[in-house]
Chain A
Amino acid sequence: MDGAIFPLRASAETRQVRFMTAGSVDDGKSTLIGRLLLDSGVLMRDQAASIGDDEEDLAALTDGLEAERAQGITIDVAYRYFETPRASFIIADAPGHEQYTRNMVTAASVSDVAVIVIDASRVDGGALKRQTRRHAAIAALMGLDVIVAVNKMDLIGWSQERFADIETAFADLAGALKLSGVVCVPVSARRGDNVVRRGGADWWRGPTLIEVIEQSRGPATRHDAPLRLPIQAVLRDVTSRFYVGRIETGSLRPGDSVVLGPHAYPATIASVRIGGRAVARAEAGASVAIEFEDERDVTRGDVVAAAGARYARSVVADVCWLDETAWSKGRRYILRQGTLETQALIEDVAFVHDIEDFSRREGASSLLLNDIASVRLATRDPILADTFAQSPGTGAFALFDPQTNQTCAAGMIREAIT
């Protein structure tokens, strides 16, 4: 345990960054996570006991379930926690194995930024692996910024030239996917170079991986979007009614004029409470209880929104199919947007994205596990016509199968049909 860089872990007064990790089976992703935990000093002695003297066994730290240990691969999303003096981190560790794309989508949905791990020693002539293209495509689809950990640099002698080739290859990929602000960092997870502490190459003047992650943009960007507050429940005491929910985007203060539901009934906010205490202002991410100036008929599923909110019964969306049971035409699903649940029907599949060569396959009559498709979707009740790009909280939805109760798709609204 002499690897710790920070003598003391951070106090509680730090911000929190949630990031996901993606990589192919052999890219060294688990080793990288083990390295982050070890060098940030969060790794506990008993948990590190399996490491022994071989640093490659760092990976053993993060391979969780018995089933995956038997298979030698990670099969589900696992969460890890560590801190530096500047921030605390939650890692959603998504698997690299192709058939488990759905877990990467899951991990992406709860993350602020994606770290994609690639094996520098196995990129020949700048050709990125299919898996890497897939991971970048999903990150782009889910609206995440991307940080690339170019791993195993020690195996190619810290070749600046080969790192530059990979950077170029990834820049091309990012261009095709309209991903902006991608940062590549050369690292050796096994040796710990440029992960938390500097090392490896004297030509590298950029930040370490952890520095890039620390500076990544968090959910603060949601504060500028118009107010969306999906109501979870109505609480009552003797004299008042409180409407509770989490602010997905925007902010709220007493006196604000808002609109309720598809008919845009106007209302005025009388009070805003967080944890039972009245506050002068609440922002995206806050779980609040509000009162209106006058009695309003609001229930779970309704949304308190800034004026101008639009609703629609038909939207164009990207859906990622997550269920082993394929989608077939005519089948009805339960759609959840915010706290609203309503029936939904995929009326038409415009095309299935090929997320390796980015071509479009038209005329699909079914959607299989891991398919990502652009669809036209109709709902029984009007839903908010928010696009995922502008309003990630309410521009997203999930589909549940009413027969099996499985969660079968993640959806992102691209445009409303009005």
Chain B
Amino acid sequence: MRLAYKSDDDAPVSGEASPAPVRVSARLERLEAESVYILRELASFARPALLFSGGKDSAVLLHLAIKAFAPQKAPFKLLHIDTGHNFPEVLAFRDTRARQAGLQLIVRDVEDSIRRGSVRIGPDGSRNAAQAVTLLEAQQEFEFDALIGGARRDEERARAKERVFSHRDAFGAWRPRAQRPELWGLFNRHIGVGEHMRVFPLSNWTEADVWAYIIQEQIELPSLYYAHEREVVRRDGFLFPVTSLTPAEVGATSERIVVRFRTVGDITCTCPVESEAGSAEQVLAETLIATVSERGATRMDDRANSAAMERRKVEGYF
């Protein structure tokens, strides 16, 4: 699946052996250094958790967290808010990766929030927005003082305004007009009782940066990020995956074609794209010439309304 692309020049050097620093892309080097710096700012938090779904951004985030704290273990618990509509191979990857990292994985289910009555699902059946409620319930249950997420500013317009250290009040609400100014790297990490911080170490990464880094660092991903055959129904310009949760509607014609996912979220609102890209290099090549944004191509939940993300964020969504 992944091709080793490093040359011998990039082999690890011992302290004395090489006169020059290890050479990687100047741009990835700057991004990695910044993300590691942000993650290390969390060392003095009492109960930080890293949001880990098994998706590619969270896989990169976990990789950076491990690097930032080596040789010590990363001082984070892993948290996943499970909509109950996730792809089984992603959940299996999530569990394996958490085990390999030796970090405790906490899973909280939207299903339980529905049972408790704290969440009601709208007519479209998507549980994506409902995650915010379950997330805040988990934050309170464990008294997490920092929730670290893999959201990127290039994903969506409301996210483009997000701080790296984004303060949430005791209700978990984001107040876009009262954001703290964020100066140089001098992050304001102070929070009051019951409040928490959302922290976004990948803020300045683009989709292409993420893929280039996945190649450089040989980061493993769930298989559905790469080309595979899948049964889908074409409708409204989207490819809808046919699964037991999302069977083809009566009268709709399904077909088996080769696809990959650009984002992996709730099955009911995440669509694959047609692609033959079977390796991270091929995915990067496609990303560089893509004409539709990552979320625009694949997420029905954002399409409903151009301010959909902003509304969800105000309510506590990542």
Contact = CB atoms under 8 A, between A and B. Distances in A.
**Binding partners A and B:** yes
Given A278-B13, A405-B190, A410 B183 contact: yes
B37 A246 contact: yes
Interface string B31-47: 11110110011011000
Contacts of A322: 181
A398 B186 CA distance: 7
Contacts of A336: 186, 188
A280 B16 contact: yes
Contacts of B292: 44-46
Given A12-B212, A67-B177, A274-B22, A235 B69 contact: yes
A64 B158 CA distance: 6
Interface in A66-90: 66-67, 75-81, 83, 88, 90
Interface in B49-72: 67-72
A76 B310 CA distance: 14
A407 B166 CA distance: 12
Contacts of B306: 50
Contact of B288 (A11, A79, A102, A337): A11
B173 to A, nearest CB: 15
Interface string A1-40: 1000000111111111000000000000000000000000
Nearest to A13: B25
Nearest to A336: B186
B180 A406 contact: yes
Interface string A217-236: 00000000000000011011
A188 interface: no
A237 B20 contact: no
B243 interface: no
B153 A79 contact: yes
Interface string A309-333: 0000000000000100000000000
B237 to A, nearest CB: 10
Contacts of B203: 79
B76 to A, nearest CB: 13
B33 A285 contact: yes
Interface residues of A, number: 77
A282 B21 contact: yes
A182 interface: no
B161 A77 contact: yes
Given A65-B161, A232-B37, A15 B307 contact: no
Interface stretch (A103-111, A207-215, A356-364): A103-111
Interface in B263-318: 284, 288-293, 296-297, 306-307, 310-311
Contacts of A240: 71
A389 interface: no
Given A65-B176, A246-B185, A271 B288 contact: no
A66 B306 CA distance: 9
A316 B15 CA distance: 41
Interface SS of chain B: loop
Contacts of B180: 406-407
A16 B204 CA distance: 11
B160 A79 contact: yes
Contacts of B204: 79, 81, 90
A277 B22 CA distance: 9
A90 B190 CA distance: 27
A173 B212 CA distance: 43
Interface in B124-164: 153-154, 157-158, 160-161
B72 A235 contact: yes
Interface in A100-131: 102-103, 105-106, 109-110
Contact of B67 (A8, A50, A276): A276
B19 interface: yes
A300 B33 contact: no
B161 A78 contact: yes
Contacts of A233: 40, 43-44
Contact of A66 (B28, B288, B291, B310): B310
Contacts of A287: 32-34, 36-37, 40, 68
Residue among B13, B15, B181 with the highest chain A CB neighbour number at 10 A: B181
Contacts of B28: 12
A417 B307 CA distance: 51
Contacts of A137: none
B297 A46 contact: yes
A106 B181 contact: yes
Nearest to A406: B180
B117 interface: no
A280 B297 contact: no
A158 interface: no
A102 B37 CA distance: 24
Contacts of A283: 21
Contact of B157 (A64, A274, A279, A286): A64
Given A77-B161, A286-B33, A279 B153 contact: no
Contacts of B37: 232, 245-246, 287
A396 B183 contact: yes
A12, A110, A405: most-surrounded residue (chain B CB, <10 A): A12
A281 interface: yes
Nearest to B157: A64
Contacts of A52: none
B53 to A, nearest CB: 23
Contacts of A275: 32, 36, 67, 70
Contact of A46 (B158, B296, B307): B296
B233 to A, nearest CB: 21
Contacts of B206: 81, 88
Interface of B: 12-22, 25-34, 36-37, 40-41, 43-44, 67-72, 153-154, 157-158, 160-161, 167, 176-177, 179-186, 188, 190-192, 203-204, 206, 208-209, 212, 216, 284, 288-293, 296-297, 306-307, 310-311
Given A16-B30, A275-B32, 4 more contacts: A13-B27, A110-B182, A287-B32, A405-B190
Interface of A: 1, 8-16, 44-47, 50, 64-67, 75-81, 83, 88, 90, 102-103, 105-106, 109-110, 232-233, 235-237, 240, 242, 244-246, 254, 271-272, 274-283, 285-287, 289, 300, 322, 334, 336-337, 393, 396-398, 400, 402, 405-407, 410
13 contacts: A9-B289, A11-B288, A16-B30, A232-B41, A235-B70, A246-B37, A276-B67, A336-B188, A396-B186, A398-B184, A400-B190, A406-B180, A410-B183
